[in-house]
Structure 1
Amino acid sequence: MNPYMLQSSSEQEDEDPSDCRTSGQLNSPGYKRLITIHAGKPKGALKDALQPAAEKVRRLSLSEQELEKAATTNGTDVVRFTQKNILRVYPKGTRITSSNYKPMVGWMHGAQMIAFNMQGYGKLLWLMHGMFKANGGCGYVKKPDLLMKKGINSEVFDPKKKLLVQKRLKVKVYLGDGWRLDFSHTHFDAYSPPDFYTKIYIVGAAADSTRKKTRIIEDNWSPVWNEEFTFPLTLPELALLRIEVREYDMSEKDDFGGQTCLPVSELRQGIRSVHLHDKKGEKLKNVKLLMGFELL
């Protein structure tokens, strides 16, 4: 099964496919067999539940803890299962504050449905927004070919295997502007202009995940950094570039100044104007960064 699919964690399990009580609905057993994928939860040993069935497609649901366990002990079994079947991952029931888990674990193992709590906000939800900016933001992202391939001896991609660097991403942060139009003049500092800096994150394979940050530009609504960073990538197909601007505060927590998350595979090379978003993912009207991207 090739796509990733974006889905809210409020989705309920599939209703009985044999229930055709809706007025005017066609009751065709052949048609139902064609479109129905039965859902289920693991019964017995997790390794057994991940074994693909010979002649049918299944949809298996795992909690985030079950996925983490499977990724630790049976990672390649998960990848092999998702090549022909659908895997849905959902948040653990104790997340009563609508927090979320790391979606990259599921994506690295080919899970097509990463159920999220969409009613809150935070850095993990920003990653979800970033992943699904790809493909025109339609909500469908094709899985990388490496998660669908099999080797000569039917071996599949091993998320734990150490890989060679495939690409190098150069990111240059030139300058930023627009805060004085979207924020009050006392929002960041009551008596002086803000002290902005930019943080750059790569989120993806463990070997690729890292962060850098620019220096702090003091007392300036339109900071100019002109700083360049290079990120070696072993799995550029699954890497996300997360950008966050903060305002330095000596005595309290640094203030939030905007963020965005972008799929590395769809970065347009060259000098680009990058719009920033608020904590809920809504685009700020005027705040943007001037940045340069180069994938070598």
Structure 2
Amino acid sequence: MNADLITKEFRLKPEDMNLPLSCYYINSSHNTYLNGHQILLARQFSVNQKCESSLEMYRSVLLAGCRSIELDLWDGDEGFPVITHGPHSLQKINTLTLKSVCYVIRDYAFKTSDYPLILSLENHLSAQQQQVFVETITDIFGDTLVRTPLADFPLEEGTRLPSVARLKRKILLKGSVGDEINMVIKQSTTWNHKLIESVEKLKIDHKNLLEDSFKNLDRKLELKINTKKRVLGFGGESSFKKQYLALKRLSSNNQLIPNFLKMINYCQNSKRMELQMPDFLMHSGSEQKIDKAISKNSSQVIQFCQRHLLRVFPEVNRICSSNFIPCFFWAAGCQMVALNFQTNGLAMQMNNTLFEENGRCGYLLKPKILREKEFNASIYATNLLIANCVSIEVISINCISPFLSQKKVNGESIAHSINVVVDLYDLPQDSQRDKHKTTGIIVKNELCTVLLEDSRQKFVFDKIIKPEIALLHIKIMNKNNGELFQRFIPVHKIQPGFRHIILRNNANKSVGPANVFVKIDVNLHVPITEKRSDAYTNPLKFLEQLKLEEEHQQLILSQENNETLENEIFDQWNQKKQSFNTVGESIDEESDDA
């Protein structure tokens, strides 16, 4: 009755950190600087959320083990770059100076993890302020910044990306490259990087705002927006002109200076996603775009991710900083699934659970079938993995009552009715939600609540296709179906037997000693139609049956004119016949004597 998971498996494994960068899941953040909503407009519909840029977000995200953070760079009024969700004349969100952000990154980049930090740049700087940017980060980051390719990992076609261990305590810059790649042929083919920022998601967002088109918003929001158009800032011709010029600037490609270009090396973003591209070219796309690519040809996406990085970010219509479910993209090998860290909930709980492994260093080795080309895996393939069968029986709920509100009627406390729900997150068609539930009553000051025998149920998940990625989610729900406590458990790290599962809150933080006592069984999935299912459930019986089948097969394959075999059969028959006659004669003699 000890830990619910194999705790030693969560320790850092330095021996697993010597593969190329593309072989790992990377803990990634989207619009890291934002605390709250993506645009000010969204504040009209949620009074509890902010919409501001904050240095504290960079600090907290880095301390949480995130290894890829985002910087949106804009020209500052005083000649120094700023970071915000711009353009400022349109969005009107406060700005952070580049220097202040860089100092926070320098101080906290390697507090939680020693492994490389990737700065995802969205560049809207003029040529003059690009030079200021280069000078600033060079001065503050010093030798930790990878300004040029490593000597043993040149930017050449056929050269793999450096390993995570090789880039230890280093900072990489990620930027976008255009459709045309300039090549300089020397002794080998070398690719020069040409940085052209792709800002399609922002252009769509801002055009929707300027043109008063709300195609990507919910109908409920659209009705409210129509009554509150003043929040768009159309205060007159001068105001509209500023916003128009800002949008025009946003849509244009800036002239990029050579000093800026050469600092983007191992994480050059391309608009294309082609297998024959050099390994240092990567791709970024919205959740919908990458989802379509996976649904159309998941094998190609998996093969692309075996040698190249792929970043997935939330769709532009998530103006309230909501998140998408990341499991589907992890199953396709996508390394950088960027989430809004400021929003607690299901997606961030999954993300935190995944990156608890490997010492919370922010890098987790992908399953072998997603790393090696010879498997030619598909996200829907079931023949390359051995599915698991997991059953969970909830026995008792412990130490929860002190955390519940105490309601009284006539001076007496009211008992709380709760539900224990267990969900499975695997592939979309194999996930199970709200199907397995049992009930219990929590009484005040009772630290242990044992469920009645008739309410205890065994929750059976018969076929978990991808156990290395699948997650079980245990939730404690109130009578109004509101979540009180929860816990995600990786299927491949679960321990069978009687276990205390420590519960967590919505922010995935442990809630004191609150736990659920369960009995867990883990087995291999055996299809009902499997001819030799005993090979898994009863191996001794299977071997005995296999031996009989082999002997029978030898008899069948024997030639009909095999005289030795015929003589053996004839001799056996004579022996049996003789013994039969002997027994018969003895019986006759006994009857005569009688």
TM-score bracket for this pair, using the shorter chain length? 0.7 to 0.9
Could you tell me which runs of 5 or more consecutive residues in structure 1 were left unpaired when the two chains were aligned.
none
Higher helix share: 2
Match of 2:29 in 1: 8
Matching residue within 468, 479, 493 for 1:266: 493
Match of 2:517 in 1: 290
1:238 aligns with 469
Amino acid at match of 1:228: K
Q: Which of 345, 348, 362 is the equivalent residue of 1:139?
A: 362
Aligned partner of 2:388 among 158, 167, 171: 167
- Amino acid corresponding to residue 83 of structure 1 in structure 2: Q
Question: Contact (CA 8 Å) 1:166, 1:235: kept in 2 or not?
Answer: yes
How big is the shift at 1:86? Answer: 0.5
- Could you tell me how far 1:165 is from its partner in structure 2? 5.9
Q: CA RMSD in A?
A: 3.1
Post-superposition offset of 1:209:
1.1
Aligned partner letter, 1:244? K
Give the aligned partner of residue 247 of structure 1.
Answer: 478
Q: C-alpha offsets along residues 177-231 of structure 1, whole Å, 9 cap, x if unaligned?
A: 21222223229xx952111221111101234311333332246462425432221
Quick one: distance in 2 between partners of 1:121 and 1:132?
Answer: 16
Q: What is the DSSP-based 3-state SS (H/G/I as helix, E as strand, rest coil) of the residue aligned with 2:150?
A: helix
- Decide whether the 8 Å contact of 2:421 with 2:437 is kept in 1: yes
Instruction: Give the aligned residue type for 1:160.
Output: Y
* AA of the residue aligned to 2:176: G
**Corresponding residue number in structure 2 for 1:96:** 319
Q: Tell me which structure has the larger Cα radius of gyration.
A: 2
**Contact 2:273–2:282 under 8 Å retained in 1:** no
For 1:185, the equivalent position in structure 2 comes to 406
2:243 paired with 1:23: no
Separation in 1, partners of 2:358, 2:389: 22
- Aligned residue for 2:257? none
> What does residue 203 of structure 1 align with?
425
Q: Could you tell me how far apart the structure 1 residues matched to 2:436 and 2:178 are?
A: 43
Which deviations, in whole Å up to 9, do the C-alpha atoms of 1:18-61 show, x marking residues without a partner?
985323846974538577686437869xxx92212454322211
Please say if 1:227 is aligned against 2:363.
no
Kindly indicate whether the alpha-carbon contact (under 8 Å) linking 1:205 and 1:238 is maintained by their aligned counterparts in 2.
no
Percent pairwise identity: 23
Structure-2-length-normalised TM-score: 0.44
Q: May I ask how many residue pairs the two structures share in their alignment?
A: 284
C-alpha contact 2:284 2:312 (8 A) present in aligned 1: yes
> How far apart, CA to CA, are the structure 2 residues paired with 1:283 and 1:28?
41
Per-residue deviation, 1:294:
2.5
Deviation at 1:148, TM superposition (A): 1.8
Could you say what secondary structure the match of 2:307 adopts? coil
Post-superposition CA distance 1:130-189 (Å, at most 9, x none):
2223334332221111112333xxx621113455762211222111121222223229xx
Q: Pick the structure with more strand per residue.
A: 1
Give the 3-state SS of the residue equivalent to 2:511 in structure 1.
strand
1:235 is paired with a residue of what secondary structure? Answer: coil
**Which letter maps to 1:192?**
I
In the superposition, relative to structure 1, how do residues 207 and 72 fare at CA in structure 2: closer, same or farther (>3 Å)? closer
User: Is residue 122–residue 175 contact of structure 2 (8 Å, CA) maintained in 1?
Assistant: no
Is this contact kept in 1: 2:424–2:470, CA < 8 A? yes
Partners of 2:414 and 2:358 in 1: CA distance: 42
